[in-house]
Chain A
Amino acid sequence: MNIVVCYKLTPDAEDIEVKPNRTISLEKAEWNIGEYDLMAIEAGVQLVEAVGGQVSALSVGPHQTAASKAKKDVLSRGPDDLYLVIDDALANADTHLTARLLATAIRKRGPFDLVLCGEGSSDLYFQQVGLQLGELLGVPVINAVSRIMPADGKVIVERSLENEVEVLEVPLPAVLAVTADINQPRLPTMKEILKAGKKPVTEWTLADVPPAGGLQESVTVLSTLAPKQVERKQIIVPGNPDEAVQTLIGYLSKEGVL
């Protein structure tokens, strides 16, 4: 099976700094592979282990995506090679532009049987890129896939919806967005980490893969602010544990919540 796994390198939300005016800064953030994309990578590697073939990793994004540590990280998780489209103009690309770029890059790479995406990116979590990508490539696409079973010329998938699980036959080629619990991504072994540095990397610019429809975006971001803090009383109840819980019970009775 010829598989492409898509991933996004994202700033770690834990490293966000909130400024006094509620704006946020990502300057000190560490960039990592999106946590839900790890499951897509693992799913691709598991399929190839089961039925043979090869897995390419693909990402589009700003220069952080092409950092040598980031390239090694993704390749140490099992993909055979890596394709990147790098431009700092893509730092805030909307889902439609991202999907158009991925589609162009996948076409340039060549034929595929399966494209796998994560449930959503761990920074913006729109859960949309995989679906748009399938539609743009003109192939079957489905989200919430919690199990993939290869069959002849197709895959049988389980799709985990809110109250039910659908078992669906998906003809190949296809694009699947997998759930966060489809697998437990393994940690790269030392052997894989050493191998990662020798795997082929193809780095493209926007000139190499011009997206159909150009670079214009379909939404404008007006603001990104830390959530408003809810006003809380912030009363620290004093005393030893026995005294403190009595005082607390008094407060809670007065609030009428006991």
Chain B
Amino acid sequence: MADQTIWAFSEKPALLAELIAGARQLSGAAAAVVVGPRALCEQALAAGADRVYWLGETSDSRLVEDYVPTLAALVTEQQPAALLIGATKRGKAVAGRLAARLGTSTITDVKRLSGEPGSYQAEHLIFGGGAVRTEQPHGLLLCTVGQAAFEPLPPEPGRTGPVVEVPFVAPPWQLQLRERKEKPPVSVNLAAAKRVVCPGRGLAKEEDLALMRELAQLLEAEIGCTRPLAEGLNWLPRERYIGVSGANLKADLYIGIGVSGQVQHTVGISEAHVVVAINKDKTAAIFQQADYGIVGDLYTVVPALIKALQARK
């Protein structure tokens, strides 16, 4: 009989812990696939894995991706009910190549998983957040899952379980790593911001961001934006745009200023606690997505708001 265990794999230990928790939630039995230092196997057991498959370490001449044939052989042999892969770029590369070898499709960036072994259902967003699609795989559930889909379990140090060392299957080709460069640190983590001030296309020119910054400083808020301001106008860096391929807020307060409220953007504010919208167009879609709206020209409303907030201090 096929295994009912759900497997979790990510090269990022924190994300692996979340996937292990997800696997336990879904089936009760979780196995972790570990690529990296041996100590990560104990960490995976402490995070709730009942069993660990240790594929080996990485080095400059052996990348995570070089383990794809090893992982494919292991999945074929052990037949898990599902394999959850951390939705990083690397994770997606592993998932895609694995899917081709296993003759199936990967469901990427899954937001919610439900069902029983053999009839799992996975939800993910399509059309830039404009729709939620629910899919059921015919065989193995192979999916990638990003951060914060599952809460990690409290670690239990000293928790034990079998660690299976898996022999390396040599890949047919390898890429040569010439160099690894650090990326400049990301200037902001909007997902962790308490308050966010978000200008949209209603902002007339780049210099007017100063007004947004003044408001943000008073509120101790971060600046976010809609996609056109980051991609196209390039007024703000890419990591500041909110929406389906950008940041998803969990903020207490979001203030959208001159934001029209297209679904590609508002999908990123659906978990904000309080949403405020300022827009001169009273028919703007953002007002249906807001708790409090002010219909008016942002160039009079925002200065008034700044003045009133200063008076409170």
Contact = CB atoms under 8 A, between A and B. Distances in A.
Interface of A: 13-14, 16, 24, 94-97, 99, 122-136, 138-144, 156, 159-171, 180-181, 213, 217-227, 229-230, 232-237, 241-242, 244-246, 248-249, 251-252, 255-258
B172 interface: yes
A252 B304 contact: no
Interface stretch (B35-43, B76-84, B149-157, B290-298): B290-298
The residue in B93, B138, B288, B300 that gathers the most chain A C-beta atoms within 10 A of its C-beta is B93
A245 B130 contact: no
A162 B264 CA distance: 22
Interface of B: 65, 68, 88-90, 92-93, 95-97, 99-101, 103-109, 121, 125-139, 172-173, 175-183, 195, 219, 231, 238, 245, 252-253, 262-264, 267, 270, 273-276, 282, 287-296, 300-301, 304-305, 307-309, 312
Q: Give the secondary structure class of B's interface.
A: mixed
B96 A222 contact: no
The 7 closest A-B pairs by CB, nearest first: A131-B96, A135-B100, A132-B100, A169-B176, A13-B127, A167-B179, A241-B304
Contact of A142 (B93, B103, B135, B291): B93
B173 A140 contact: yes
B126 A124 contact: yes
B304 A227 contact: no
Contacts, number: 246
Contacts of A125: 108-109, 126, 128, 245
Contact of A244 (B101, B107, B195, B301): B301
Given A135-B101, A144-B89, A167-B178, A218 B138 contact: yes
A258 B65 CA distance: 47
B182 A164 contact: yes
B195 A126 contact: no
Given A236-B293, A248-B292, A248-B305, A164 B100 contact: no
Contact of A130 (B68, B96, B175): B96
A140 B131 contact: no
B92 A128 contact: yes
Contact of A252 (B179, B263, B289, B292): B292
Contact of A220 (B125, B135, B290): B135
A248 B173 contact: no
Given A218-B105, A227-B129, A131 B289 contact: no
A224 B175 CA distance: 39
A218 B100 contact: no
Contacts of A161: 88-90, 183
B125 to A, nearest CB: 8
Contacts of B288: 229, 232, 234
Given A131-B93, A241-B301, A255-B274, A248 B100 contact: no
A91 to B, nearest CB: 14
Given A144-B89, A242-B304, A218 B294 contact: no
Contacts of A159: 89
